[in-house]
């Protein structure tokens, strides 16, 4: 076991928290990358709001940082979709650096971005490194659910419901989520919108793969969430009247050859006072099963998974290895150590200390 050397790739809200967690867990930060001129050139501790300097300067040249630091892993929090992530992940693979990301689509991108994923898988294998998507959804939408399903004798349906508060992410996200539009305007937007597949597709894809099932049909629908009483939006600085839109819910359904139907409902809307993020799953069959994580702190658990998964990703065989193929998630005590898989050590192109 030796200390892990990590590059902080993207210094936004999530990676600022992850940076503190990594330092507290004994990870050596050997580089930091950002694009914003307001961040580049400053100490990572300052940019991440840690209250102390880290001695690591935020840089803007990924090629140079990835090629010069002998890092074990890049910890990436820059974008949600594979179309935006491809270049970042390709760079890591080509420089022989493992990559872990909270990109939502990267959780299980084989069904929604198969070409990019296959090419990244090939590059990763060629360079002896692993690429994995993780985050809150790794445990709460896939691995915990899979473990509850492990106590079923026979599954008929699996139905998950999760929510997030649009007010937590600023006015742009609130507008994207159609807050304060009319239902008619929402319906017009929805009919014309060219939206990418929801992340529910990736979640259900991972569950189907994990259960050893095969997909017959996929269906996705979206419904507006409507104010039943006036609802305050702090990010938009207005109150949404009764009957107007406070967000929407994406519903993804997968039917399988084995007769099991999986559904995931993801709601992003304004919360009423006292509401919190939910994670509720119901399984029908024998027996009926329920899982609930009241007041689940989605943002924090996204950061903890990004950090706690680091040893699993470093130690995994090379390729685009989705999280349901990694060892089960575990609590990590200080220090967050690593060893390198012998085959990987052999395959890896870059120097190893």
118, 183, 193, 300: residue in contact with a copy of itself (rule CB under 8 A): 300
Spatial distance between the Cα atoms of 340 and 243, rounded to a whole number of angstroms: 57
187, 241, 275, 288: residue in contact with a copy of itself (rule CB under 8 A): 288
Q: Find the binding residues for a copy of itself in span 221-280 (CB under 8 A).
A: 258
Tell me whether the omega of the peptide bond preceding residue 287 falls within 30 degrees of 0, making it cis.
Answer: yes
81, 140, 199, 320: residue in contact with a copy of itself (rule CB under 8 A): 140
- Site membership for a copy of itself, residue 344 (CB under 8 A): no
Find out whether 329 and 308 touch, Cβ atoms under 8 Å: yes
Q: What letter would DSSP give residue 53?
A: -
210: which residues sit within 8 A by CB, 6+ positions away? 142, 146, 324
Phi, psi of 249 (to 5 degrees): -120, 125
Pick between residue 123 and residue 149 the one whose CB is nearest to a copy of itself: 149
Pairing of strands 98-101, 73-76: parallel
Q: Find the binding residues for a copy of itself in span 181-210 (CB under 8 A).
A: 210
Name the 3-class secondary structure at 95.
coil
Contact code string over 84-123 relative to a copy of itself, x by CB under 8 A: ----------------------------------------
- Site membership for a copy of itself, residue 214 (CB under 8 A): no
Find out whether 299 and 293 touch, Cβ atoms under 8 Å: no
- Site membership for a copy of itself, residue 313 (CB under 8 A): no
296, 310, 313, 323: residue in contact with a copy of itself (rule CB under 8 A): 296
36: which residues sit within 8 A by CB, 6+ positions away? none
195, 219, 297, 345: residue in contact with a copy of itself (rule CB under 8 A): 297
Contact positions vs a copy of itself (CB under 8 A) = 21, 24-25, 136, 139-140, 143-144, 146-155, 210-213, 258, 286-297, 300-301, 303-305, 307-308, 328-331, 333
């Amino acid at each position: 076991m030796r200390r892990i050397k990590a590059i902080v790739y993207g210094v936004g809200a999530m990676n600022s928290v992850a940076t503190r967690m990594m330092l507290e867990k004994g990870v050596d930060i050997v580089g930091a990358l950002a694009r914003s001129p307001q961040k580049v050139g400053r100490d990572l501790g300052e940019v991440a709001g840690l209250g102390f300097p880290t001695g690591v300067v935020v840089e803007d040249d990924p090629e140079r940082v990835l090629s010069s630091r002998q890092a074990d892993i890049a910890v990436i929090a820059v974008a949600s979709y594979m179309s935006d992530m491809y270049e970042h992940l390709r760079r890591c693979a080509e420089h022989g650096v493992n990559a872990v990301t909270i990109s939502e689509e990267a959780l299980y991108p084989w069904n929604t971005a198969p070409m990019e994923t296959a090419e990244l898988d090939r590059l990763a294998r060629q360079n002896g490194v692993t690429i994995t998507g993780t985050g809150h959804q790794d445990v709460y939408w896939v691995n915990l659910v899979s473990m509850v399903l492990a106590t079923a004798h026979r599954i008929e349906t699996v139905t998950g419901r999760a929510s997030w508060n649009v007010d937590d992410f600023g006015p742009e996200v609130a507008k994207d989520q159609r807050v304060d539009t009319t239902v008619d305007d929402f319906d017009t937007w929805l009919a014309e919108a060219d939206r990418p597949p929801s992340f529910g597709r990736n979640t259900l894809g991972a569950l189907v793969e994990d259960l050893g099932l095969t997909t017959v049909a996929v269906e996705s629908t979206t419904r507006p969430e409507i104010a039943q009483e006036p609802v305050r939006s702090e990010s938009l600085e207005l109150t949404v009247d009764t009957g107007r839109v406070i967000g929407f819910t994406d519903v993804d359904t997968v039917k399988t050859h084995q007769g099991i139907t999986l559904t995931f409902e993801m709601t992003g809307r304004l919360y009423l006072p006292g509401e919190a993020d939910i994670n509720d799953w119901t399984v029908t069959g024998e027996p009926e099963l329920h899982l609930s994580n009241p007041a689940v702190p989605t943002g924090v658990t996204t950061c903890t998974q990004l950090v706690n998964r680091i040893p699993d990703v470093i130690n995994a065989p090379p390729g685009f290895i989705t999280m349901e193929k990694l060892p089960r998630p575990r609590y990590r005590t200080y220090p967050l150590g690593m060893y390198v898989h012998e085959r990987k050590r052999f395959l890896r192109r870059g120097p190893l200390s």
